[in-house]
C-alpha cells in the first residue's frame, strides 16, 4: 500500500561536491552526526537522483531546503539552484539560508529574491542541545537575540516563511517567537527532532509540539522521522506521527522526505509507504492535504 496521489516533497537537498561549497560533506574518518554516519552522503545528489529515488511516487513538485552551503556566499546556492531548476525542472521552490544575525541581512534577502523567483523562505538552524555531540549551533539563545530577531522581522514583509529546525528543549522559546511574529509563517522541520528517546525526552517533545501548535502561524513537516529512530518500524513511528497529527491536525502537517539524508535509514518508497500506512484512517482529503495541498499552500506552489 502506498499513497497513489500527487506528492509535493516539501523538504529535500541537492548538492554537487565538485563546487566545493559544502564543507560538512568532506570525508572525515570516524565522524558521526546526530542522524548517523554521514559517509554515504559524500556524493553528488541532483534532480535525477531525487527522481530515481522517488520512482513509483507521483512527485509533482519539490522544495529545496538550504544544505549547509558556504556561509560566506549564501546567495550562491540560490543562483545555482535556479540554474538547476531552469535546466531540469527541480526544485520547484527554494528555502535559502540567510544570516539573520547580520545587520546587512536585508541586502542578502533582496539578493536571494533577485536570484530566483522560486525563493519562498529562509532557514537558519537553531538546533542546540545540552550534549555537544548533538549540537548544530554553539548558541542556545538565537531566538532571543535582538539582532537575530530584527533579521527575522524582515521575512514577513517580503512574503517569506521561516523553516525552523530545533530540538524539543527549545520549543517554548520558538512558541514565544511565533507569538511575537504572528504574521510570519513558521514551518517546523523533521517532526521537531525528537532525539532524546527516553520517556522523559519524548514527553518533553510532545509538550513542545502542543506549545508550538497553539500558535496558528506554525505548521509541521512530517519529514525524516527516521533520523532519530535508526532501527525504526511502523510501530515505533506510529506514536510519533500520531502526536504530530494530534497537535497540528492534518491541515498543518506536510510530507517531506529529507532526501538524501533520510536515505541513510530508509528508501524513499519506505518513507512514503510508512506515512501512507500511518495516515490510512484519515479522510482522503486530509491525506491529500498532507502529501500535496498543504505544501502548495504554505510554499505558494499554485498552479500545480
- The answer to whether 221 and 11 are in contact (CB under 8 A) is yes
- The answer to whether 143 and 149 are in contact (CB under 8 A) is yes
Range of the domain at 269: 6-298
The reply to whether 1 falls in a domain is no
Torsion of CA 78, 67, 266, 55, to 10 degrees: 10
Grid cell for residue 193: 527532532
The reply to whether 39 falls in a domain is yes
Calpha distance 139→266 (Å, rounded):
31
Calpha distance 107→92 (Å, rounded):
24
What three-state secondary structure class fits 60? strand
User: What pLDDT is attached to residue 31?
Assistant: 77
Nearest to 13 by CA among 81, 60, 73: 81
The CATH number covering residue 102 comes to: 3.20.20.140
The reply to whether 251 falls in a domain is yes
Per-residue pLDDT of the chain (304 residues; tens, 9 = 90+): 489 999 999 999 999 999 999 999 988 776 788 888 899 999 999 999 999 999 999 999 999 999 999 999 999 999 999 999 999 999 999 999 999 999 999 999 999 999 999 999 999 999 999 999 999 999 999 999 999 999 999 999 999 999 999 999 999 999 999 999 999 999 999 999 999 999 999 999 999 999 999 999 999 999 999 999 999 999 999 999 999 999 999 999 999 999 999 999 999 999 999 999 999 999 999 999 999 999 999 999 987 6
The reply to whether 125 falls in a domain is yes
The reply to whether 304 falls in a domain is no
Which DSSP state fits 41?
Answer: G
The reply to whether 206 falls in a domain is yes
Spatial neighbors of 89 by CB under 8 A, at least 6 apart, are: 47
The reply to whether 303 falls in a domain is no
For residue 169, how many other CB atoms are within 10 A of its CB? 18
User: What's the total number of domains in the chain?
Assistant: 1
The reply to whether 112 falls in a domain is yes
Q: Which residues pair with 26 in a beta bridge?
A: none
CA angle 190, 194, 197 (to 5 degrees): 145
Amino acid at each position: 500500500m502506498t499513497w497513489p496521489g500527487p506528492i509535493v516533497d516539501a523538504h529535500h537537498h541537492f548538492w554537487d561536491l565538485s563546487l566545493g561549497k559544502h564543507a560538512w560533506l568532506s570525508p572525515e574518518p570516524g565522524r558521526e552526526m546526530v542522524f548517523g554516519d554521514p559517509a554515504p552522503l559524500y556524493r553528488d545528489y541532483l534532480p535525477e537522483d531525487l527522481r530515481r529515488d522517488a520512482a513509483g511516487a507521483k512527485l509533482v513538485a519539490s522544495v529545496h531546503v538550504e544544505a549547509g552551503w558556504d556561509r560566506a556566499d549564501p546567495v550562491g546556492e540560490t543562483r545555482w539552484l535556479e540554474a538547476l531548476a531552469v535546466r531540469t525542472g527541480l526544485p520547484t521552490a527554494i528555502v535559502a539560508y540567510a544570516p539573520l544575525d547580520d545587520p546587512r541581512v536585508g541586502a542578502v534577502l533582496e539578493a536571494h529574491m533577485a536570484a530566483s523567483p522560486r525563493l519562498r523562505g529562509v532557514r537558519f538552524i537553531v538546533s542546540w542541545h545540552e550534549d555537544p555531540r548533538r549540537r548544530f549551533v554553539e548558541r542556545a539563545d538565537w531566538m532571543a537575540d535582538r539582532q537575530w530577531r530584527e533579521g527575522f522581522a524582515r521575512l514577513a514583509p517580503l512574503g517569506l516563511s521561516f523553516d525552523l529546525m530545533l530540538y524539543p528543549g527549545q520549543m517554548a522559546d520558538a512558541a514565544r517567537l511565533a507569538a511575537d511574529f504572528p504574521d510570519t509563517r513558521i514551518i517546523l522541520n523533521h517532526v521537531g527532532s525528537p532525539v532524546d528517546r527516553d520517556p522523559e525526552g519524548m514527553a518533553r517533545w510532545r509538550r513542545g509540539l502542543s506549545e508550538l501548535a497553539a500558535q496558528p502561524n506554525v505548521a509541521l513537516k512530517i519529514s525524516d522521522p527516521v533520523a532519530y529512530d535508526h532501527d525504526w518500524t511502523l510501530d515505533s513511528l506510529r506514536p510519533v506521527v500520531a502526536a504530530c497529527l494530534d497537535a497540528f491536525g492534518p491541515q498543518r502537517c506536510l510530507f517531506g522526505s529529507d532526501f538524501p539524508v533520510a536515505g541513510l535509514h530508509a528508501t524513499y518508497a519506505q518513507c512514503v509507504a510508512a506515512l501512507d500506512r500511518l495516515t490510512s484512517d484519515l479522510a482522503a482529503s486530509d491525506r491529500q492535504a498532507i502529501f500535496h495541498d498543504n505544501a502548495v499552500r504554505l510554499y505558494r506552489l499554485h498552479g500545480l
